[in-house]
Amino acid sequence: MLKIYGIKNCNSMKKAFDLLTELGLSYEFHDYKKQGIDAETVKKWLDAKGAELILNKKGTTWKKLSEAEQQDALSSEAKLIETLTTHSSMIKRPVLDTGADLLVGFDEAAYRALK
């Protein structure tokens, strides 16, 4: 079963939900806003895909941090995990766990290849 992580009212998430539905793929949705995200899952993602892909530096939540806060968040993996679990909206969306791979960000071609 596919598991998709993100925030319900996000345009990228809506595109992902619509495409998964169109393709007839069933999925479980994990909403960061309601359910949060645990450090173990974030660490697994960072290990698999790296901070550059997981951390969304283009979002307003990241941009609202001071330079010092940004540097602190990037100072170690532990600090980054703490930052991402506290501010889950800084995680690039969506994260789709296929069981075999993680698709980070909405990529229509990659989603269509799941069929």
Catalytic residue list = 10
Q: What are phi and psi of 66, to 5 degrees?
A: -70, 165
Distances (CA, A) of 61 to 39, 65, 110: 19, 7, 27
Q: List alpha helices for 1-114, DSSP H.
A: 11-22, 32-35, 39-49, 51-54, 60-64, 67-73, 77-86, 108-112
What is the 8-class DSSP label of residue 105?
S
**By C-alpha distance, which of 46, 45, 40, 16 is closest to 28?**
16
